[in-house]
Amino acid sequence: MAHAYTPGLRVTDHARVLRERRLPLKGEVLAPIGAEVAPDSIVARTELPGNVQTVNLAQKLATDPAKVVETLVKPLGSSVRKGDIIATAKSMFGFMKSHAEAPADGTLESVSGVTGQLILREPPIPVEVTAYVRGRVVEVLTGEGVIIEAFGAFLQGIFGVGGETFGPIAVAVRGPEQELLAEYLTAAHRGKVVVGGSFVTYDTLQKARGIGVAAVVVGGFNDQDLKRLLGKDLGVAITGGEDIGFTLILTEGFGRIQMAERTWSLLTSHQGEIASVSGATQIRAGVMRPEILIPHAAANTGGIGESLEGGLDLGSVLRVIREPYFGRIGKVTSLPAELRMLDTEAHVRVLEVEFVDSGERVIVPRANVERIAD
Amino acid sequence: MDFDPKLIRSILATDCGSTTTKAVLIERGPDGYRLVTRGEAPTTVEAPFEDVTRGVLNSVREIEELRGRKLLDGDRILTPQQGEDGVDIYLSTSSAGGGLQMMVSGLVLQMTGESAQRAALGAGAIVMDVIALNDGRRPYEKIKRLRQLRPDMILMSGGTDGGDVKRVAEMAELIAAADPKARLGAGYELPVIYAGNTDAAAIVTACLESRTALSVVPNLRPRLEQENLKPARDAIHELFMEHVMAHAPGYKKLMTWTAVPIMPTPGAVGLIIEKVAKRDGIAVVGVDIGGATTDVFSVFKAPGTEETVFNRTVSANLGMSYSVSNVMAEAGIENILRWVPFDVDETDLRNRIKNKMIRPTTIPQTLDDLVIEQAICREALRLSFEQHKSLAVGLKGKQQSRDISDALDQVASGASLVNLLELGLLVGSGGVLSHAPRRAQAALMMLDAFLPEGITELAVDSIFMTPQLGVLSTVHEEAATQVFERDCLIFLGPVVAPIGPGKVGQACITVEWKPEGDATQSRKVPYGELALVAVPAEGNLQLTVTPERGFDMGGGKGKPVSRTVRGGVVGLMIDTRGRQPFTIPTEARARIDKLRVWNRAMNMYPREV
């Protein structure tokens, strides 16, 4: 049977999701196996080694590097406070005394007899990892973190900015084709994951930021507005670390694009429920897409969510993801095996799609569609 | 592995890229070695497979099916060839898992720092950062950076032999304080290569030996006027295998299959570019434009010597899919638009480019979309070449003895080695060039981006098999060269481009060409035009170009230049649009009209866009 492979984003009400919560360095795991955790529960903690400061004692004290170790007033390994005298030396037959001070709080780590350099390590920096999603700890990675299992609705966006957050879902528009306008946002949206429709502008996002909205989920957004939001042109799609005051997730792409019906209905059906949201996107080998996770009790008994990765058969519902039919939704009506010549004169594998809204049938390269639902 | 090249009947070679594993089968026939078939399959380094050999076997299985020959025995490649089954040797290159990612250090950024960077790039690495004592960062910032980046390997250089050891020790102490960890797997020590002042080797060893897997090799800059990059490059290749690849999923197994060590893909491409330049005695530039990165390779003569210098640079964030948005960010939207012969709304163009970035596997369906993609390609190539020119330079910091003629010729130490007038062959590869629907499109993209001067041959790699041929050249140069010439390179044709400013329509050059066994023909082309002349795709042409006064083809203003060049599938391209400077009208209507004229001349598209 004719069959094609296409990328697709997961949009399902019944998913079992495992999320690894790992420390950057080994530390202490606080949540045991079986523990029920909330998005803000701290599951692991560690201390990152402090920053390193160097002090050139040989230069400061006008001493031979080989002798700087003798100038230390405290042994290596000692703690010092900023401004403490850490080394002294006499010169000019003992008449002149010079000294060096600690540039920061820390520990005297080492001195070099070759360069006369002292390494001072600042106090460790505490790091905590939260659960991010409501669920249960199913595995402890000894000294490193935990794996959390959550059941519920799981939706992947196509692109996002901003890090992890959570909050109740609030639908702010009447339909998936509607733009999220500034006037729809009120103080009641503070801390919420606001669902818009097809589009949002920079000005509306400014208002959302002012209100203290946790996240905005919409179909599309203009790149020009993204540039204003980030203060620069985004070159490489590695996001998640932006400090923009909220998280933005695009479910469809850049431009004004109606949110896919399935995404819209899934989000609206969970209005008021707590969602965990991450804007982190990495479009490289080992792609990472932004996500919305809505754990719900009903899903515990549900099956495993289907993945839309994989097959595309006759009748499959898809969205075209490149011009000239960008954003349009239709059903596969034919999957010819032979290569076809495009307008560009390139010979590629294609499929025929019948658009849902107009019934029009067109030929589209297989590389330019994604399956959205059946 | 020792074997007699004369006994080799068949060769299987794979290139494990970050997304696709490509296999080629080469067989010896009555007319020598030829590519007989190729296969490809998704690379399987990442979950759920996490075993690179799965993708290798799948790509070889495709060859088996296409060729109707048994090459596999279960999950093993059959070597040597037995009857019609199996192959005599199997080789591989790899850039999977992000390739080889290195940090390099030197004492002075522009001297040993730059030499170390050249050594790492030449070995096929992506240089994540160059740390130097004078890089403007404070020690704790350097330490933080070393810790954050988690490279695969560090190359540490610094100082000339017999120089000051104190500063080198300072750098070693910085690295020791950072205690950097390797990217792949926490269970092994980070490889560090020391290629600096030999007098400091003992101090560096004492400082780093207990924390890292340290190798000490001869100084890569023993004297200010001498660079010795080979020992450092060889050490990088060796450690790439021993440490980095051995920790990548499935590579331990793959390493036992190959006849010679697996090479980093760009290192292998560089090898073949270097060999072609040496064999033909010409300066060569090669470019490989991918989805995420663009590599540029060059071989030019060092000024005033007969010695050739190989350079490679990688522009890690210039590419046609994953990095397409960064091309726009770096080039500026107006530079992309200058190549588009129709009006485009900026909001729409920006959204199109971002949509390509977030869905990188899509392809242009309309002619307009193809034209925009090819405009972006020109800028990605131009920027990558700019970066290359700034790194492919003579040694900085060396003292030059000057006489009165030098004083008039203000060439500073550290001037770029890239001399476009000397460039004999420009080779392009990567999907947007190799798979352009018309070869003329690849030719004009390269022409616009590189702006070759004088007489230059253009070629494309038909299916991007230079990596496999590069590694093959280390064991069987004859086979690699034959396949490269016959099946890999497609000659597009020679370009004739005089240097000098002029007025549109002004008399500029007369070009005479004589194909083998054919009569001489000639054509006068005024300034400001692009002309295409059909010539045989195979065989040589005798070319004589006579510039008018004020224009230079390399022999001096107004002086004729003659050369034997290869023909090509596109034809002889006569480009009098200007060099030094090359200009495009800035006013939109005039620019669009000009682009359309040039596109028509090159027969670029099936209809006017």
DSSP B183-204: SS-SSSPPEEEE-S-GGGHHHH
**How far apart are the C-alpha atoms of B20 and B243, rounded to whole Å?**
23
User: Which A residues 265-304 touch B at CB under 8 Å?
Assistant: 281, 283-286
Are B362 and A367 an interchain contact pair (Cβ–Cβ within 8 Å)? yes
Length of chain B: 609
Task: Report chain B residues whose CB lies below 8 A from the CB of A345.
Answer: 437-438, 606
**pLDDT tens digit sequence for A192-207:** 999 999 999 999 999 9
Write the DSSP symbol of residue A264.
H
pLDDT at position B48 is: 67
**How far apart are the C-alpha atoms of A49 and A53, rounded to whole Å?**
12
Are A52 and B140 an interchain contact pair (Cβ–Cβ within 8 Å)? yes
Task: Report chain B residues whose CB lies below 8 A from the CB of A26.
Answer: none
Task: Report chain A residues whose CB lies below 8 A from the CB of B18.
Answer: 284-285
Q: Report the gap between the CA of A84 and the closest CA in chain B (Å).
A: 20
pLDDT at position A96 is: 74
Q: How many CA atoms lie within 13 A of B302 on its CB side?
A: 13
What region does B192 belong to: left with phi over 0, alpha with psi -120 to 50, or beta? beta
Are A346 and B346 an interchain contact pair (Cβ–Cβ within 8 Å)? no
Task: Report chain A residues whose CB lies below 8 A from the CB of B326.
Answer: 235-236
Q: How many CB atoms lie within 10 A of CB A273?
A: 15
Q: Report the gap between the CA of B25 and the closest CA in chain A (Å).
A: 24
**DSSP states of A83-114 as a string?**
T-EEEEEEETTTTEEEEEE-SSSEEEEEE-TT
A231 touches chain B (CB under 8 A): no
Q: Report the gap between the CA of A187 and the closest CA in chain B (Å).
A: 31
Task: Report chain B residues whose CB lies below 8 A from the CB of A255.
Answer: 348, 351, 355
pLDDT at position B393 is: 79
User: Which A residues 186-215 touch B at CB under 8 Å?
Assistant: none
Instruction: Evaluate whether B552 touches B498 at the Cβ level (below 8 Å).
Output: yes
Are B359 and A51 an interchain contact pair (Cβ–Cβ within 8 Å)? no
Look over chain A and give the mean of its residue pLDDT values, rounded to a whole number: 89
Write the DSSP symbol of residue B247.
G
User: In Å, what is the CA distance from B599 to each residue of B186, B455, B498, B502, B573?
Assistant: 55, 21, 20, 21, 12
pLDDT averages per 10-residue partition of chain B, 609 residues: 82 87 94 92 75 92 92 93 94 80 90 91 85 86 80 91 89 86 70 95 94 94 89 86 75 90 87 88 93 90 84 84 90 95 94 91 93 98 92 67 42 73 94 94 98 97 88 92 91 97 95 95 97 95 96 96 97 96 92 97 95
Length of chain A: 374
**How far apart are the C-alpha atoms of A156 and B429, rounded to whole Å?**
35
- The mean per-residue pLDDT over the stretch A297-309 comes to 46
Look at residue A188 and tell me whether its pLDDT is greater than 80: yes
Task: Compare CB distances from B365 to A281, A283, A323 and report the shortest one's residue.
Answer: A323
Mutate to test the interface with A, among B203, B354, B383 (most CBs of A within 10 A): B354
Q: What is the ipTM of this complex?
A: 0.86
Are A52 and B352 an interchain contact pair (Cβ–Cβ within 8 Å)? no
Q: Give the residue from chain B lying closest to A288, CA to CA.
A: B358
- Rounded to the nearest 10 degrees, how much is the dihedral formed by the CA atoms of A316, A317, A320, A321? -100
User: Which A residues 47-76 touch B at CB under 8 Å?
Assistant: 51-54, 65
More confident of the two residues A250 and A338:
A250
A346 touches chain B (CB under 8 A): yes
Are A322 and B437 an interchain contact pair (Cβ–Cβ within 8 Å)? no
**How far apart are the C-alpha atoms of B432 and B440, rounded to whole Å?**
12
Mutate to test the interface with A, among B16, B140, B208 (most CBs of A within 10 A): B140
Look at residue A361 and tell me whether its pLDDT is greater than 80: yes
> A129: which 2 tokens?
């990892």
**How far apart are the C-alpha atoms of A284 and B18, rounded to whole Å?**
9
Are B140 and A7 an interchain contact pair (Cβ–Cβ within 8 Å)? no
**How far apart are the C-alpha atoms of A286 and B292, rounded to whole Å?**
13
10 Å CB burial of residue A171 (0-12, 13-18, 19+) is: buried
Strands B100-106 and B153-156: parallel
Q: Tell me the β-bridge partners of B108.
A: none
Q: How many CB atoms lie within 10 A of CB B408?
A: 8
Instruction: Evaluate whether A266 touches A11 at the Cβ level (below 8 Å).
Output: yes
Are B322 and A365 an interchain contact pair (Cβ–Cβ within 8 Å)? no
Task: Report chain A residues whose CB lies below 8 A from the CB of B143.
Answer: 51-52
Task: Report chain B residues whose CB lies below 8 A from the CB of A117.
Answer: 170, 173
Task: Compare CB distances from B347 to A112, A222, A283 and report the shortest one's residue.
Answer: A222
CA B473 distance to own-chain centroid: 17
Q: Report the gap between the CA of B36 and the closest CA in chain A (Å).
A: 22
Residue type, A33: I
Task: Compare CB distances from A235 to B139, B329, B369 and report the shortest one's residue.
Answer: B329
User: In Å, what is the CA distance from B392 to each residue of A178, B235, B425, B429, B529?
Assistant: 54, 22, 17, 20, 31
pLDDT at position B495 is: 98
Instruction: Evaluate whether B557 touches B500 at the Cβ level (below 8 Å).
Output: yes
Helix, strand, coil percentages for chain B (3-state, nearest 5) = 35, 25, 40
pLDDT at position A300 is: 46
User: Which A residues 151-170 touch B at CB under 8 Å?
Assistant: 158-159
Task: Compare CB distances from B46 to A237, A281, A285 and report the shortest one's residue.
Answer: A285
Q: Give the residue from chain A lying closest to B325, CA to CA.
A: A235
Task: Report chain B residues whose CB lies below 8 A from the CB of A233.
Answer: 325, 328-329
**How far apart are the C-alpha atoms of B370 and A343, rounded to whole Å?**
9
Task: Report chain A residues whose CB lies below 8 A from the CB of B347.
Answer: 222-224
**How far apart are the C-alpha atoms of B99 and B145, rounded to whole Å?**
20
Q: Give the residue from chain B lying closest to A119, CA to CA.
A: B177
Are B437 and A53 an interchain contact pair (Cβ–Cβ within 8 Å)? no
Q: Give the residue from chain B lying closest to A65, CA to CA.
A: B166
Are A283 and B357 an interchain contact pair (Cβ–Cβ within 8 Å)? yes
Task: Compare CB distances from A159 to B140, B329, B358 and report the shortest one's residue.
Answer: B358
Report the predicted TM-score, pTM, of the whole model to 2 decimal places. 0.85
**pLDDT tens digit sequence for A63-113:** 898 888 899 999 999 999 999 999 998 876 667 788 999 999 999 988 888
Query: How many interface pairs between A and B have CB atoms less than 8 angstroms apart?
Result: 158
Task: Report chain B residues whose CB lies below 8 A from the CB of A112.
Answer: 169-170, 173
**How far apart are the C-alpha atoms of B151 and B173, rounded to whole Å?**
18
Task: Compare CB distances from A51 to B45, B140, B367 and report the shortest one's residue.
Answer: B140
